[in-house]
Structure formats: structure tokens, C-alpha cells
Amino acid sequence: MSALAPSDHIIDRHLEIEHDLRLLRELWHSFPDLRLGQLVVYFSRASDPKYLEDHALFSEIEQALTTATAGSPSQVSADGRRREKVT
């Protein structure tokens, strides 16, 4: 194992955290009426989000953002439930 391995891991983790924070920021701007906990619970789609791995949560968030930018007709209400957009 090289002497650089731990610092490489730390740098990779920092980059991953920055990426995840950008996704969370974009998501929260898309749903400003929701609180952070509501965002995590709603987009985790897990029965207990405490045990959810970061990559699984942010994969769901990335998918939601992709759907939202594609003009999806659904929205999320303030209580975290999905509702159809009234036209």
C-alpha cells in the first residue's frame, strides 16, 4: 500500500461530498417548501433512511432532478407527498 493511499481516499471522499452537496442544493431549490428531513425521507424511498447508504440516496436525488428537469408533471407538496400539477 502506498503512502499516498489514505490522502487519495480523503480527497476522493471530499469530492464526493461536494458533489452530493451540489445535488442536495439543487434539489432543495426545486422544492423550497420542504424541510431537509422531508427531502431525505421522501427521496430516500427506504423504510428507514437512517441505514441508507449515501450513494443510494444521492442516486435517487439525481434521478428525481433528471425527471424534474425533463418537465415531469408531478410536484411534491409541503408534506412531502407527490401530487399532480394542475393545469
Q: Which residue ranges make up each domain of the chain?
A: 5-70
Residue 15: predicted pLDDT? 92
Please report, in tens digits, the pLDDT of each residue of the chain (87 residues total). 455 566 888 889 899 999 999 999 999 998 899 999 898 888 887 778 788 888 888 998 898 888 876 654 445 554 444 554 444
CB within 8 Å of 80: residues ≥ 6 apart: 34, 38, 41, 42
Residue 26: predicted pLDDT? 94
Residue 80: predicted pLDDT? 47
Crossing angle of helices 5-30 and 54-69, rounded to 10°: 40
Instruction: Tell me the whole-structure pTM to 2 decimals.
Output: 0.64
Residue 54: predicted pLDDT? 87
